[in-house]
């Protein structure tokens, strides 16, 4: 069967500046998450500016954190190729590093704005996993985050469209199993994770209706994502490794599941009873919002002593 050229990772150019599909897809993922978070936050009486401002701080922090995490675990390569450290358009953003940086940023942000972190985290949780589902298609365009070699029939049996099958035909310098370096079809693990995350989005939206205790929707996200990542990571060929047989993402996933489950149990034992949808919750008002609120308050007229 005649092979087509793989999809171009560059969408278009502005002068001499190439605009990569990887960046466009990640931007789309962030925008979708932002719009849905703003919509949900209004149900909690929050200003639409909360998540807009949080994204302005959280996204850069996530990109930096994800890149630092990836570079540290691939230091042997980057120490000899320092010019590649900032080439994020070629991929290489570790989601666990991005999440750690984004969560730290969100905690600081909420503290400064006098907002409840767990409520903000619960509102954002479904949108985070949706953004991850969309973002995996950036890996698809870069022909990364794939699994080991398979034959074409394996991919056809998955009923995949031709453009995905064709994009999974990738050069492999170390295929293993007695195979020589060359072009092989690979398992579309990016697609497995994208579909798992998309399903997770609908599961988390459904859990909202159960009105879990505050913080438990975010912990449910951690458990769902980590469980899927643990199994899918075992199929990948480009994993960050702690040892020759120990994958970083699998270890981190197990640790995060343990932390999330423990946190739910401990917080319930300590009497955490506030619900995700709390009719008595009144969002804190601070900064410019406080000034605006005060300006709108009508002044009380002084009572005259005359009758």
| Residue 99 near residue 123 (C-beta atoms within 8 A) | no
Tokens of 66: 């994800």
d(CA 275, CA 210): 10
Residue 291: CB atoms within 10 Å? 11
Alpha carbons within 13 angstroms on the beta-carbon side of residue 218 total: 16
| Residue 180 near residue 143 (C-beta atoms within 8 A) | no
| Residue 65 near residue 102 (C-beta atoms within 8 A) | yes
| Vertex 140: Cα angle to 157 and 237 (nearest 5) | 75
Rg for the chain, CA atoms, rounded = 23
Q: Reduce the DSSP state of residue 244 to 3 states and report it.
A: coil
Q: Reduce the DSSP state of residue 150 to 3 states and report it.
A: strand
Tokens of 47: 């200003």
The pLDDT profile of the chain, 307 residues, written as one tens digit per residue, is: 555 788 999 999 999 999 999 999 999 999 999 999 999 999 999 998 999 999 999 999 999 999 999 998 888 888 888 888 888 877 778 889 999 999 999 999 999 999 999 999 999 999 999 999 999 999 999 999 999 999 999 999 999 999 999 999 999 988 888 899 999 999 999 999 999 999 999 999 999 999 899 999 999 999 999 999 999 999 998 888 888 888 999 999 999 999 999 999 999 999 988 999 887 766 655 433 443 443 444 555 555 554 4
Please report which residue ranges of the chain form alpha helices under DSSP H.
21-41, 49-73, 75-78, 95-113, 117-141, 152-157, 162-167, 189-208, 216-233, 248-269, 287-296
Predicted local confidence at residue 241, as pLDDT? 87
Surface-to-core class of residue 204, CB atoms within 10 Å of its CB (0-12 exposed, 13-18 middle, 19+ buried)? buried
In sequence order, what are the beta bridge partners of 183? 171
Query: What distance lies between CA 283 and its chain's CA centroid?
Result: 26
């Amino acid at each position: 069967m005649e092979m087509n050229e793989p999809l171009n990772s560059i969408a278009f150019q502005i002068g001499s500046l190439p605009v990569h599909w990887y960046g466009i897809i990640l931007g789309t993922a962030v925008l979708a998450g932002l719009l849905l978070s703003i919509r949900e936050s209004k149900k909690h009486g929050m200003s639409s500016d909360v998540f807009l401002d949080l994204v302005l701080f959280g996204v850069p922090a996530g990109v930096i954190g994800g890149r630092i995490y990836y570079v540290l675990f691939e230091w042997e390569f980057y120490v000899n190729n320092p010019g590649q450290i900032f080439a994020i358009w070629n991929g290489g953003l570790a989601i666990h590093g991005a999440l750690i940086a984004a969560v730290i940023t969100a905690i600081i942000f909420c503290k400064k704005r006098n907002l409840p972190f767990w409520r903000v985290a619960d509102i954002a949780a479904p949108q985070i996993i949706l953004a991850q589902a969309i973002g995996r298609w950036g890996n698809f365009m870069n022909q990364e985050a794939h699994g080991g070699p398979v034959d074409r029939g394996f991919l056809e049996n998955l009923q995949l469209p031709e453009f995905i099958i064709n994009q999974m035909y990738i050069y492999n310098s170390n295929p293993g199993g007695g195979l020589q370096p060359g072009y092989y079809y690979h398992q579309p693990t990016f697609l497995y994770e994208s579909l798992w995350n998309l399903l997770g989005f609908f599961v988390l939206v459904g859990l909202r209706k159960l009105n879990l205790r505050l913080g438990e929707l975010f912990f449910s996200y951690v458990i769902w994502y980590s469980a899927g990542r643990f199994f899918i990571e075992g199929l990948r060929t480009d994993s960050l490794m702690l040892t020759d047989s120990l994958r970083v993402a699998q270890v981190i996933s197990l640790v995060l599941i343990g932390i999330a489950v423990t946190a739910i149990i401990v917080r319930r034992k300590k009497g955490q009873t506030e619900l995700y949808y709390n009719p008595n919750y009144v969002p804190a008002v601070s900064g410019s919002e406080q000034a605006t609120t005060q300006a709108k308050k009508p002044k009380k007229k002084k009572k005259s002593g005359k009758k």
